[in-house]
Structure 1
């Protein structure tokens, strides 16, 4: 039995609250077990200099952790004067995941920045951020269609992410911190609802894992993201009706 009592293919309880950030064009607070991330999308009618005049939009992301999101206080990156390599890597991952499902040409010369701030961390923060960021982005783009800024929704698909790993209990889905910190291997899967793969990050912490074990993790990830896609869709539909 896993420390949490979950089955090997069970997600932690997932809760998404849309519209949590009142002033953002789109937002979502996502909770996956003890991990909570606030995702807020900001729309600007300008693009980075390398895209000016090209009739194309841009989607990017920023990521950060509150000092007491973890067991001990972490120093604010602003106090250090620079972001850590981990932070930069995660926010680039989130941005890539979102751009993979947006038609940037259809977006026009508009930029959307999705800020992902970790309120509480208990494993899988980057995966929760990607899953919540898609909801925030979708709601922001829906607002642009509703107010007439865009003629149609420039969304090509749906993206979510989940972690899987090899633990003493075997291959498991959606690792919490206790499992993640002791896993012999772990991987983050960024997948689309139509079966596409955006990115897979896998690491052996001890002995190398086999292709057969990787395939098992992949099947678990498909199971987990299928449920996340269902939750995302239900939340967006509920928010749009409201």
Structure 2
């Protein structure tokens, strides 16, 4: 089997819940490019932006959570792509913590590491590798962000890093997608799967910081994300009052 189609402990696409989802959606019956887009749209918008307990959750655990951030959404996206016989690989990097400012503030922000592990999937399409980094923020969260704190074109913060917050390249068109790329400050290159990357680089937090994140910080961040998402449908008058 092509190494870019194989299951791994993290990319557990043989898990019953993943198999059931793929069968229910009928993704395998779609043409290749449409198949990629359907899986991508599911992970982008039906798996909301949010912070899980760990970067290295299995794809089935992310699916069960129903939300994810860059690293966990990448794992789910890769597992689903491989499940429908679309080759993909993992791209590792770090982002500057300024990209998270606003979702977390004050002392909790100061305690965060300067460099945060980041990743995205690369999919094989038309004999080239295409970046799928734009999967991270769901459409409602992006709209809520525009309705509250995001203004102008270039924007860095609240989980977004883009040259054009009004129209970031997040839709699947057969080309690269991106929503956090301007926050990237270090490249690690490509890996066959997330398992290999985490074996080499570990995950973002360990020890006391990890415990604090799991028990407190991520809940604060998820409440902030939810409050912004709720602003997605604000009338114009209410938007102006924020």
TM-score normalised per structure 1: 0.27
TM-score, normalised with respect to structure 2: 0.27
**Larger strand share, 1 or 2:** 1
Structure number having the greater helix percentage: 2
